[in-house]
């Protein structure tokens, strides 16, 4: 009896499983007939290339000085198109718009009168202008052939001064980037302790350049910060030490005295510090820059000038008068915002770009 029950139960299970399998097999859709085709050969498409145009410095300088060239020096050819005295009067008026010192203007007019037979077109006139300007710059510029040459006894200390807004902090950042990029160990002293924004800006430049920076609490004694910076540069063997200072109006005698104190304090670390004192000059200030330079030179004994923002001014030619009157060379010239837009000042490049001589050759 029990055997019959088991047999019946087994038959029932087999029947149920078979029915389920048959139903699922019947309802399952047939697999689609997929045809695989060999991929067609296509020509390789080159990846788009990003072309970065790197202009030569002479080209950037020429473009930067274009306003000065067009508004001043380029107009002289038209003014001197006649041989009567009125042409020289017109030329003299044009030169004064460039904020050149009166004596330099007078000397140039006399030179043009003397050499009137040497120019009969724009190209020959530009050559005469270039020769005159070069003769006023070369004797002074020969003093400073290599402004960033390493000092035999590390570090080389450079004190940077200037009025507010001249581009002092940016100039220091660019110099730090250049020096660090050449493998030098650079230390920057943020001695403008009265403007936190200036210190923060300088910190950003130093971080990008890989240069170290000494900063103090807001309102700290600038002379003390300068001393600590130079002392650290000596102790740690830095190649260069750039000392930033607070912007000073040249007419504020008390503030100028403070700068002189900062310079003296650095000299207590080692005799001869700082090696250089550079004044940053905004080209836009024109003839007023001469008065600034005279007062800073009187207080500090300048060894070099940094002429900035030449790309935004028609008065970039005023640099000639400043160099001649102070007998202080221009070390660097700036015509833009990038690091490469600050380069050593070379008379031939500057003069040719200023008068447009390179376009005439």
CATH class as words, domain 156-302: alpha beta
* Residue pair 68/316 in contact by the 8 Å Cβ criterion: yes
Give the DSSP letter of residue 312.
G
CATH class as words, domain 57-141: mainly alpha
Which residues belong to CATH 1.20.120 in the chain? 57-141
List, for residues 245-266, the tens digit of each pLDDT value.
Answer: 987 665 566 778 889 999 999 9
Please list, residue by residue across 24-58, b when 16 or more beta carbons sit within 10 angstroms of its beta carbon and e when fewer do: eeeeeeeeeeeeeeeeeeeeeeeeeeeeeeeeebb
Q: Residue 15: pLDDT band by 50, 70, 90 thresholds? A: low
Q: How many CA within 13 A on the CB side of residue 241?
A: 29
Say what the pTM is.
Answer: 0.80
What CA–CA distance (Å, rounded) separates 200 from 268? Answer: 28
With tokens 């198109």, the residue in question is 81
Encoded tokens for 32: 């689609």
* Residue pair 323/137 in contact by the 8 Å Cβ criterion: yes
* Residue pair 324/353 in contact by the 8 Å Cβ criterion: no
List, for residues 94-141, the tens digit of each pLDDT value.
Answer: 988 877 888 999 999 999 999 988 988 888 999 999 999 999 999 999
Which residues belong to CATH 3.40.50.300 in the chain? 156-302
What CA–CA distance (Å, rounded) separates 136 from 351? Answer: 11
**How do beta strands 342-344 and 330-334 pair?**
antiparallel
What CA–CA distance (Å, rounded) separates 175 from 81? Answer: 44
List, for residues 286-335, the tens digit of each pLDDT value.
Answer: 678 888 899 999 999 999 999 998 887 767 788 898 999 899 999 999 98
């Amino acid at each position: 009896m029990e055997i019959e029950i088991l047999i019946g139960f087994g038959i029932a299970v087999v029947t149920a499983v078979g029915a389920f399998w048959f139903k699922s097999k019947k309802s399952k859709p047939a697999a689609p007939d997929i045809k695989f085709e060999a991929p067609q050969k296509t020509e390789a498409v080159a990846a788009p290339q990003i072309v970065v145009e790197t202009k030569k410095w002479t080209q950037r300088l020429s473009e930067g000085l274009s306003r000065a060239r067009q508004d001043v020096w380029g107009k002289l050819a038209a003014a001197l198109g006649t041989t009567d005295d009125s042409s020289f009067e017109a030329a003299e008026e044009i030169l004064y718009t460039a904020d050149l010192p009166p004596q330099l203007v007078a000397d140039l007019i006399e030179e043009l009168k003397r050499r009137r037979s040497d120019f009969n077109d724009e190209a020959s006139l530009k050559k005469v202008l270039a020769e005159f300007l070069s003769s006023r710059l070369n004797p002074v510029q020969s003093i400073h052939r290599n402004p960033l040459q390493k000092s035999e006894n590390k570090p080389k200390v450079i004190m940077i001064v200037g009025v507010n807004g001249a581009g002092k902090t940016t100039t220091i950042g660019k110099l730090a980037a250049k020096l660090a990029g050449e493998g030098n160990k650079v230390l920057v002293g943020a001695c403008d302790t009265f403007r936190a924004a200036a210190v923060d800006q300088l910190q950003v430049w130093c971080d990008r350049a890989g240069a170290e920076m000494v900063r103090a609490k807001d309102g700290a004694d600038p002379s003390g910060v300068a001393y600590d910076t130079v002392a650290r540069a000596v102790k740690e063997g830095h190649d260069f030490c750039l000392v930033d200072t607070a912007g000073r109006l040249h007419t504020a005698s008390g503030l100028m005295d403070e700068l002189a104190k900062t310079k003296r304090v650095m000299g207590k670390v080692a005799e001869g510090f700082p090696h250089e004192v550079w004044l940053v000059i905004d080209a836009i200030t024109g003839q007023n820059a001469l008065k600034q330079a005279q007062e800073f030179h009187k207080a500090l004994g300048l060894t070099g000038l940094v002429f900035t923002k030449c790309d935004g001014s028609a008065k970039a030619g005023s640099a000639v008068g400043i160099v001649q009157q102070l007998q202080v060379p221009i070390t660097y010239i700036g015509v833009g915002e990038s690091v490469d837009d600050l380069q050593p000042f070379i008379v031939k490049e500057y003069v040719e770009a200023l008068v447009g001589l390179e376009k005439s050759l």
